[in-house]
């Protein structure tokens, strides 16, 4: 017997992904305009820092709320004491109204069917615990958020089987890819319990089409034990057409007979981390019309509650319709302007992106900069961008993309000046690249740019693994 449990010593957390290791390299040498102007700029973090001034302005105008007062009287003791893990009714009501507002009030949500969690990470894991057993599987379209390898698999023991989407149709879900993923799961003797999609997509920054939803509903229709999870954490970041369509809106438009087949098997994950830029507040939610799922998830939520103080503050903020209307409108305008800045800067460097209409990032095509059409070449390019260009971005392989050369680049977590500097660095890097595939002309070996041999060994293992069997990652 070992000193620690198998869970504590297993290597299935996903922390060795380039997505996380890029962060580690950034933290060793973070860019600062004054103190470290040659440091690494963080473009691998999907945070929304563009509209903090609007939130801060609301707090200044409503000092009683952050001061934990009601009608001028302190309610500190009330909030400091233990609260029922079902959540404050006032906050749940404000949250579901805000969710409806984001969706143009085309759908409404019952506060009795929402479960509060400590962020979307907790919400996704809790749902998987409720819906699947260890050794069962969910299908996920690629490319997908690298953190899902941790959130969905690590503690639950549930497997992920990729739905392989490609650039040939702009990474849209197809019937053939969906069926192939199902067959792949069966070959691995995995029972498929459903499909999980992110809408809008992370890392693509695109919204799911009605045609894709129709495929998904057709796929699970006659498979009565299958679920559809729609992670809609980026629903309020849609800044261009087509508009955001929630899975609940699709359900509402169905005839009652068809919809009845799905109501108990469709679930939404949401969070305030992206739309309001509040990841540190740890506010996530599960919405489901399945009473058994709500009951089970509510019990599980006691392991990751949202603090009463946070709920009180946000119930007042989200309950201010004048503020939320102004915030959502202005934030979307700012996201659109910032995305355009990134696109323009990359285009000047000869780099294009997948057309997108949402999110805090772009899906960037650097295939022409690869020395070969391999994941080893993608890793080599990524190392150059991290260590020579000093930008932390996320390689497509960390998102399980099947095509080498795609990268996720974030644009909303930095100042405009910092983004302009990042674009200058990109442009200079491409301009100084040579060779038919745009490889760097630097005569020094890639290994000489690495900080330590363990990181170099990890890159070799990761690239080899992708080259052999990317679908098994």
Higher-confidence residue of 154 and 433: namely 154
**Mean pLDDT value across residues 156-174:** 96
Structure tokens at 92: 């749940």
137 prior amide bond cis, ω within 30:
no
DSSP E strand boundaries for 232-333: 266-271, 284-288
Residue 11 pLDDT > 80: no
* Pairing verdict, β 284-288 and 266-271: antiparallel
Please report the pLDDT score of residue 12 as a whole number: 64
pLDDT band for 173, please (50, 70, 90 cuts). Answer: very high
How confident is the model over 76-85, as a mean pLDDT? 80
HSE-up of residue 395 (Cα within 13 Å, Cβ side): 30
- Pair (348, 391) in one structural domain: yes
Report the percentage of the chain scoring pLDDT > 70.
Answer: 90
Q: Which of 274, 286, 351, 383 is catalytic?
A: 274
106 and 215 in a common domain? yes
Strands (E), 244-305: 266-271, 284-288
Going by C-alpha positions, the residue among 406, 332, 340, 403 that lies closest to residue 374 is: 403
CATH code: domain of residue 336:
3.90.1150.10
Together in a domain, 155 and 74: yes
Q: Which of 19, 26, 145, 270 is catalytic?
A: 145
Provide the sign of the torsion angle of the four alpha carbons 431, 436, 438, 444, taken in this order.
Answer: negative
Q: Is residue 386 part of a domain?
A: yes
In the residue annotation, 73 being an active-site residue is answered as no
- Annotated catalytic residue: which of 149, 151, 184, 231? 231
Catalytic residue among 229, 233, 268, 351: 233
> Which of 319, 345, 379 is a domain's end point?
319
* Same domain flag for 22 and 101: no
Confidence category of residue 10, pLDDT binned at 50, 70, 90: confident
What residues does 364 pair with on adjacent strands?
Answer: 353, 407
My answer on whether 364 and 294 are in the same domain is: no
pLDDT of residue 76: 83
Residues 158 and 288 in one domain: yes
Q: Note whether residue 324 is domain-resident.
A: no
pLDDT at 276 over 80: yes
The pLDDT mean for the chain works out to 89
If asked whether residues 344 and 294 sit together in one domain, one would say no
Residues 397-417 have pLDDT tens digits of: 999 999 999 999 999 999 999
Phi-psi region of 438 (alpha: psi -120 to 50; beta: other; left: phi over 0): left
Q: Please state the rounded mean pLDDT for residues 140-146.
A: 96
Q: Is the pLDDT of residue 471 over 50?
A: no
Active site residue 320: no
pLDDT (0 to 100) of residue 342: 97
Angle (deg, nearest 10), helices 175-187 and 210-221? 40
Residues 6+ apart with CB under 8 A from 335: 48, 50, 237, 239, 360, 412
Residues 162 and 205 placed together within one structural domain of the fold: yes
In a domain, 58, yes or no: no
Q: How confident is the model at residue 71 (pLDDT cuts 50, 70, 90)?
A: confident
Say which range, 160-174, 273-287, 452-466, has the weakest mean pLDDT: 452-466
Assess whether 231 carries a catalytic annotation.
yes
Domain with 22, as residue range(s), is: 6-47+332-472
Same domain, 38 and 77: no
- Whether 160 is catalytic is no
**More confident: 357 or 21:** 357
Domain end: 319, 344, 379, which one? 319
115 in the same domain as 210: yes
């Amino acid at each position: 017997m070992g000193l620690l449990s198998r869970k504590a010593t297993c290597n299935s957390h996903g922390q060795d992904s380039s997505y996380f290791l890029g962060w580690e390299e950034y933290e060793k040498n973070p860019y600062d305009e004054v103190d470290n102007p040659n440091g690494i700029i963080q473009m691998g973090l999907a945070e929304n820092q563009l509209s903090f001034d609007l939130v801060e302005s609301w707090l200044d105008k409503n000092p009683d709320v952050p001061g934990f007062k009601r009608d001028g009287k302190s309610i500190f003791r009330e909030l400091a004491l233990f609260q029922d893990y079902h959540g404050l009714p006032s906050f749940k009501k404000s949250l579901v109204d805000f969710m409806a507002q984001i969706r143009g009030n085309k759908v409404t949500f019952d506060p009795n069917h929402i479960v509060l969690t400590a962020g979307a990470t907790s919400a996704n894991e809790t749902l998987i615990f409720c819906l699947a057993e260890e050794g069962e599987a969910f299908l996920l379209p690629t490319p997908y958020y690298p953190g899902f390898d941790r959130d969905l698999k690590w503690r639950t023991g549930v497997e992920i089987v990729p739905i392989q989407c490609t650039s040939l149709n702009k990474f849209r879900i197809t019937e053939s890819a969906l069926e192939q993923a199902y067959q792949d799961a069966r070959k691995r003797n995995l029972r498929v319990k459903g499909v999980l999609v992110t809408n809008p997509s992370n890392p693509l920054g695109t919204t799911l089409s009605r045609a894709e939803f129709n495929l998904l509903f057709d796929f699970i229709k006659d498979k009565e034990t299958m679920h559809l999870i729609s992670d809609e954490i980026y629903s309020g970041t849609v800044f261009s057409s087509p508009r955001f369509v929630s899975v609940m809106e699709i359900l509402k438009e169905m005839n009652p007979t068809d919809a009845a087949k799905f109501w108990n098997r469709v679930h939404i994950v949401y969070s305030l981390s992206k739309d309001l830029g509040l990841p540190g507040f740890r506010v996530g939610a599960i919405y489901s019309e399945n009473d058994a799922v709500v009951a089970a998830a509510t019990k599980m939520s006691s392991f990751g509650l949202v603090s009463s103080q946070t709920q009180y503050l946000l119930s007042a903020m989200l309950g201010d319709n004048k503020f939320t209307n102004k915030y959502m409108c202005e934030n979307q305008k700012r996201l659109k302007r910032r995305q355009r800045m990134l696109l323009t800067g990359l285009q000047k460097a000869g780099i294009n992106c997948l057309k997108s209409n949402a999110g805090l990032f772009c899906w960037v095509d650097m295939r022409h900069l690869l020395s070969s059409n391999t994941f080893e070449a993608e890793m080599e390019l990524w190392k150059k961008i991290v260590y020579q260009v000093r930008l932390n971005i996320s390689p497509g392989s960390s998102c399980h993309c099947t095509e080498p050369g795609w990268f996720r680049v974030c644009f909303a977590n930095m100042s405009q000046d910092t983004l302009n500097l990042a674009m200058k660095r990109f442009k200079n890097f491409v301009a100084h690249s040579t060779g038919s595939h745009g490889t760097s002309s630097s005569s020094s070996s890639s290994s000489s740019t690495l900080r330590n041999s363990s990181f170099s060994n990890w890159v070799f293992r990761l690239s080899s693994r992708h080259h052999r069997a990317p679908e098994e990652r």
